[in-house]
């Protein structure tokens, strides 16, 4: 068994325009590996190529160049999809069906046996909190309710690899919290999770490793802890220091050939990293 | 298995749409109204009208509905991105296409079966209230072609393949039929249909008297009678079963009585029919062929929809459907230009010099038009009404040929669709 759940090598996608001229480079030479059992966050501002990456992995788009593997198989392999769960960035579901019917349809596509299917559907509908609405057509669902049923369909096949594109969009705070708990539960079960988002709060306490994309180019990749601790940088957290003392400390450091990078008030650090990287470009 | 899941899903989606019920309701209304449509003054016109209305109007309505649904299904899924849900599962794209086709084929079958049952029950009901003579079309006849045809004596002249005979025993037209009783069956009766051309030197007359002889080929058993042959109207005669059953061969002779009258004859102008009562069976065969037509339309509509957006896909399906019905016209289109330009027997005042431009246009479009008419599906093959209206048993070979044609055409279409759809990206 391959030790990588996702392996991407030099993946590039250039969208073509109507005349098939190459126009928009959405993803440039992306290479990364996601290990099994890992929760991996793919971060980036709007339009940085996160969704494009996922669509390439799932074979909805074909790469301009490069290759990718899912769970050790080339991602074009159909069979591998039975072990993958996918939640698209918006919920695209058949509006004429109700919650039960749509889960049943997807369950059948995974060739899950009738009895097993039925029990999974019951459990999932309960887990995502839609028990009272299970017979209602999806056309009457709210955005957040659709998101929940979308999540349920993504895991109906008990996947080894779960790909979530902005899972918390449209969810209330409780819903977002439940998603986080769910992701941690996946980790406990040994599943791999690929999480795409621009909401850092989603990522911070959940992901083992993250990558940050900007304009389709990979900027940083590493474990969250690693990224947050820069070995050659020292940060003092001080309280109740007068302005004069601050200047005195600064001049002392300068006399000793130290670089003062910044003096200010600390903030949420992952956000700093994110914003610094994006600003630099 | 996956194919049938998709098919079931497609079917379920379609039957939850309102448009289907609107069109079905309209179809049912038309079927019910059909016997009250004004008809010409012919005994079985009322029943014929019900058949025509069903196969031409109601079925056209259904074709419209089926095209609207099947040509838009995939484009809407791609537009709404619901297709992501299916494509991210272990389902090959070919299976999606085939599943869609089967789903709409099932839908067509359901519509056709419901409406045709209604139609046929209604026809039976209406017909049972009509006198025997008005039910002439409710039969299924097998056609026999003349094995031999010649003129005894001398013909007057021949033009455009039609042999003209002058009245007064100058010449006698002779047709012979054999092998009529392959399966001797008491229920079978026989009739003969004359579709001769009539002209008279006595000025304008509506009909002329002719002598018709029908007899057993070997023993000369039979009878000769004088009948009046109407201009432009086929004449049908029952044949005494005795005559046919002995040897299974029949000779038929015709000549006009008056010296000033003429009849124009060819080999296929006299046809012999064995008559069974199997109208329902015949109708069922017509429905099978109609279903095959729907199947082909669905496949073509789905094929277009693997590449085109919803409105374009609908338009394309309708264009193909239309072109498939006017292939002869398309093939002759360049000929029309030609004719118009160099009229063969037009008055000299209309005669014009052929314009070089028209000849050029003709030259350019000739080949493409020919190819176009080859590529387009030939829906003429699916015309069953011509059999039903004449009460002719639809030959099993016809069904076989239509089935083979549909299979081949469908195979090619599905092959093309799968290639197109496999290459498709979903943005
Ligand atoms: N169908 C398309 N045709 C042309 N360009 C596209 C298409 N879809 C996306 N792009 C371009 O590709 C780039 C990456 O888009 P992508 O959807 O992958 O971004 P994203 O990281 O998912 O953004 P978001 O956070 O807003 O979801 C963008 O510049 C976008 O304009
Ligand atoms: Mg996105």
Instruction: Tell me the C-alpha distance between A167 and A195, whole Å.
Output: 8
- Report residue A33's pLDDT band, with 50, 70 and 90 as the boundaries: very high
**Side-chain half-sphere of A114: how many Cα atoms within 13 Å?**
0
pTM: 0.83
The contacts of residue B250 (CB under 8 Å, 6+ apart) are B176, B177, B178, B180, B190, B192, B214, B215, B216, B217, B222, B239, B243, B244, B272
Q: Which ligand has an atom closest to residue A198 CA?
A: 1
Q: Residue A265 has what pLDDT?
A: 59
The tokens for A82 are: 């039975």
Domain region containing A261: 243-280
Atom of ligand 1 nearest to the CA of A44: 21
Instruction: Tell me the C-alpha distance between B55 and B72, whole Å.
Output: 25
- The CATH number of the domain where B214 resides is what? 2.60.120
**A202 is a domain residue:** yes
Longest Cα pair distance anywhere in chain B, in angstroms? 85
**B148 is a domain residue:** no
Question: Same domain for A106 and A160?
Answer: yes
3-state secondary structure of A85: strand
CB atoms within 10 A of CB A248: 12
Q: Residue B354 has what pLDDT?
A: 62
Q: Residue B404 has what pLDDT?
A: 96
Instruction: Tell me the C-alpha distance between A244 and A241, whole Å.
Output: 8
* Nearest neighbour of A88 by CB, restricted to B1, B81, B90: B81
Question: Same domain for A193 and A101?
Answer: yes
H-run or E-run covering B72: helix B59-80
The contacts of residue A140 (CB under 8 Å, 6+ apart) are none
Domain region containing B359: 327-375
Question: Same domain for A194 and A266?
Answer: no
The contacts of residue A63 (CB under 8 Å, 6+ apart) are A11, A12, A13, A56
Is A94 touching B (CB cutoff 8 A)?
yes
Instruction: Tell me the C-alpha distance between A137 and A141, whole Å.
Output: 7
DSSP type of residue B165: E
Instruction: Tell me the C-alpha distance between A220 and A277, whole Å.
Output: 8
Give chain A's domain count: 2
Q: Whose CA is nearest to atom 27 of ligand 1?
A: A46
The contacts of residue B147 (CB under 8 Å, 6+ apart) are B176, B177, B178
Q: B88 and A84: CB-CB below 8 Å?
A: yes
Q: Which ligand has an atom closest to residue A45 CA?
A: 1
The predicted complex's ipTM stands at: 0.83
The contacts of residue A170 (CB under 8 Å, 6+ apart) are A91, A143, A144, A146, A147
Distances (CA, A) of B382 to A272, B59, B378, B385: 72, 12, 8, 9
Q: Residue B141 has what pLDDT?
A: 81
* Nearest neighbour of B90 by CB, restricted to A78, A93, A97: A78
Question: Same domain for A179 and A213?
Answer: yes
3-state secondary structure of B265: strand
- Listed range (A99-113, A126-140, B330-344) with the worst mean pLDDT: B330-344
Helix crossing, B279-305 with B59-80: angle to 10°?
Answer: 30
3-state secondary structure of B223: strand
The contacts of residue A157 (CB under 8 Å, 6+ apart) are A82, A83, A84, A85, A106, A107, A110, A112, B89
Distance of CA B411 to the CA centre of its chain: 23
Question: Same domain for B82 and B40?
Answer: yes
Q: Is the CB of A154 under 6 A from ligand 1?
A: no
Q: Which residue has the higher pLDDT, B248 or A47?
A: A47
Question: Same domain for A92 and A195?
Answer: yes
CB A42 within 8 A of CB A207: no
**Positions in chain B whose pLDDT score sits under 70:** 41, 182-187, 277, 333-354
CB atoms within 10 A of CB B369: 17
Q: Is the CB of A122 under 6 A from ligand 1?
A: no
Q: Residue B185 has what pLDDT?
A: 59
Question: Same domain for B18 and B69?
Answer: yes
Question: Same domain for B10 and B126?
Answer: yes
Distance of CA A124 to the CA centre of its chain: 21
Q: Whose CA is nearest to atom 3 of ligand 1?
A: A15
3-state secondary structure of B194: strand
**B336 is a domain residue:** yes
The contacts of residue B206 (CB under 8 Å, 6+ apart) are B230, B231
DSSP type of residue B83: H
Residue A70 buriedness (CB in 10 A; 0-12 / 13-18 / 19+): buried
CB B214 within 8 A of CB B192: yes
H-run or E-run covering B337: helix B333-341
Q: Is the CB of A46 under 6 A from ligand 1?
A: yes
Give chain B's domain count: 3
Q: A92 and B82: CB-CB below 8 Å?
A: yes
Question: Same domain for B117 and B46?
Answer: yes
- Cα angle for residues A90, A95, A97 (degrees, 5° grid): 125
Instruction: Tell me the C-alpha distance between A187 and A184, whole Å.
Output: 5
Question: Same domain for B284 and B419?
Answer: yes
Q: Residue A23 has what pLDDT?
A: 80
Q: Is the CB of A197 under 6 A from ligand 1?
A: no
Q: Residue B94 has what pLDDT?
A: 94
Question: Same domain for B283 and B419?
Answer: yes
Could you read off the pLDDT of B142-165 as tens digits, one per residue?
888 888 888 888 888 888 888 888
Question: Same domain for B417 and B285?
Answer: yes
The tokens for B287 are: 């429905």
Q: Residue B353 has what pLDDT?
A: 59
Instruction: Tell me the C-alpha distance between B307 and A20, whole Å.
Output: 15
CB B229 within 8 A of CB B210: yes
Torsion of CA A79, A85, A91, A93, to 10 degrees: 50
Query: Reading across the β-sheet that carries B171-177, which strands appear in turn?
Result: B148-153, B171-177, B250-256, B207-216, B222-230
Please give the average per-residue pLDDT across A204-224, as a whole number.
87
* Beta bridge pairs of residue B166: B262
Task: Select from A91, B295, B80, A93 the least CA-distant residue to B72.
Answer: B80
Question: Same domain for A175 and A254?
Answer: no
Q: Is the CB of A44 under 6 A from ligand 1?
A: yes
Question: Same domain for B370 and B287?
Answer: no
Q: Residue A231 has what pLDDT?
A: 61
CB A11 within 8 A of CB A56: yes
**B137 is a domain residue:** no
Q: Residue B352 has what pLDDT?
A: 55
Mutate to test the interface with B, among A109, A159, A161 (most CBs of B within 10 A): A109
């Amino acid at each position: 068994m391959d030790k990588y759940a996702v392996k991407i090598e030099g993946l590039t996608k250039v969208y073509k325009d109507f005349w098939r001229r190459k126009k928009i480079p959405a993803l440039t030479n992306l290479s990364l590996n996601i290990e099994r059992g890992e929760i991996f966050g793919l971060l980036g501002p709007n339009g940085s190529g996160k969704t494009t990456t996922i669509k390439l992995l799932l074979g909805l788009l074909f790469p301009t160049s490069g290759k990718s593997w899912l769970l050790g198989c080339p991602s074009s392999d159909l069979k591998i999809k039975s072990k993958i769960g996918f939640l698209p960035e918006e919920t695209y579901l058949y509006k004429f069906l109700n919650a039960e019917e749509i889960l049943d349809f997807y369950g059948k596509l995974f060739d899950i046996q009738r009895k097993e299917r039925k029990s999974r559907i019951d459990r999932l509908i309960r887990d995502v909190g839609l028990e009272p609405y299970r017979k209602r057509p999806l056309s009457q669902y709210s955005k957040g309710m659709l998101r929940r049923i979308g999540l349920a369909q993504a895991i109906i096949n008990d996947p080894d690899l779960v790909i979530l594109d902005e899972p918390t969009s449209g969810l209330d705070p409780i819903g977002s919290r439940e998603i986080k708990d769910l992701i941690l539960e996946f980790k406990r079960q040994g599943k791999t999770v690929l999480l795409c988002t621009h909401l850092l709060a989603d990522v911070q306490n959940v992901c083992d490793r993250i990558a940050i994309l900007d304009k389709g180019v990979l900027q940083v990749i590493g474990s969250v802890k690693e990224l947050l601790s820069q070995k050659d940088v020292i940060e003092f957290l001080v309280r109740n220091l007068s302005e004069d003392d601050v200047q005195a400390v600064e001049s002392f450091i300068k006399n000793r050939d130290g670089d003062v990078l910044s003096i200010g008030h600390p903030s949420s650090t992952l956000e700093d990293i994110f914003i610094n990287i994006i600003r630099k470009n | 298995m996956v194919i049938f899941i998709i098919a079931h899903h497609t079917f379920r989606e379609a039957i939850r749409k309102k448009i289907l019920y609107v069109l079905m309701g309209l179809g049912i209304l038309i079927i019910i109204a059909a016997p009250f449509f004004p008809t010409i003054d012919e005994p079985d016109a009322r029943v014929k009208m019900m058949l025509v209305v069903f196969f031409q109007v109601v079925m056209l309505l259904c074709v419209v509905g089926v095209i609207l649904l099947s040509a838009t299904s995939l484009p809407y899924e791609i537009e709404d991105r619901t297709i992501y849900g299916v494509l991210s599962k272990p389902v090959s794209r070919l299976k999606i296409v085939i599943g869609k086709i089967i789903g709409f084929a099932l839908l067509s079958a359901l519509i056709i079966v419901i409406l045709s049952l209604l139609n046929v029950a209604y026809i039976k009901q209406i017909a049972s209230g009509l006198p025997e003579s008005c039910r002439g079309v409710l039969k299924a006849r097998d056609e026999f072609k003349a094995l031999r045809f010649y003129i005894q004596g001398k013909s007057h002249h021949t033009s455009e393949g039609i042999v003209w005979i002058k009245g007064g025993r100058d010449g006698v037209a002779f047709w012979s039929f054999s092998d009529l009783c392959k399966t001797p069956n008491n229920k079978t009766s026989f009739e003969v249909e004359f579709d001769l051309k009539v002209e008279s030197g006595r000025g304008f007359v509506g009909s002329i008297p002719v002598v018709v002889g029908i007899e057993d080929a070997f023993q000369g058993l039979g009878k000769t009678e004088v009948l009046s042959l109407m201009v432009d109207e086929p004449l049908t005669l029952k044949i005494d079963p005795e005559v046919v059953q002995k040897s299974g061969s029949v000779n038929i002779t015709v000549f006009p009585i008056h010296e000033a009258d003429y009849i124009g004859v060819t080999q296929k102008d006299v046809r012999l029919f064995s008559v069974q009562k199997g109208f329902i069976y015949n109708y069922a065969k017509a429905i099978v062929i109609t279903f095959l037509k729907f199947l082909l339309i669905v496949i073509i509509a789905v094929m277009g929809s693997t590449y085109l957006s919803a409105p374009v896909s609908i338009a394309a399906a309708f264009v193909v459907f239309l072109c498939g019905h006017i292939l002869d016209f398309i093939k002759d289109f360049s000929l029309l230009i030609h004719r118009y330009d160099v009229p063969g027997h037009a008055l000299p005042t209309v005669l014009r010099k052929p314009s070089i431009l028209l000849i050029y246009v003709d030259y350019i479009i000739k080949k493409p038009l020919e190819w176009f008419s080859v590529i387009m599906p030939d829906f003429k093959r699916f015309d069953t009404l011509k059999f039903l209206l004449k009460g002719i048993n639809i030959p099993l070979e016809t069904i076989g040929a239509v089935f083979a044609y549909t299979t081949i055409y469908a195979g090619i279409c599905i092959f093309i669709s799968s290639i197109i759809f496999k290459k498709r990206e979903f943005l």
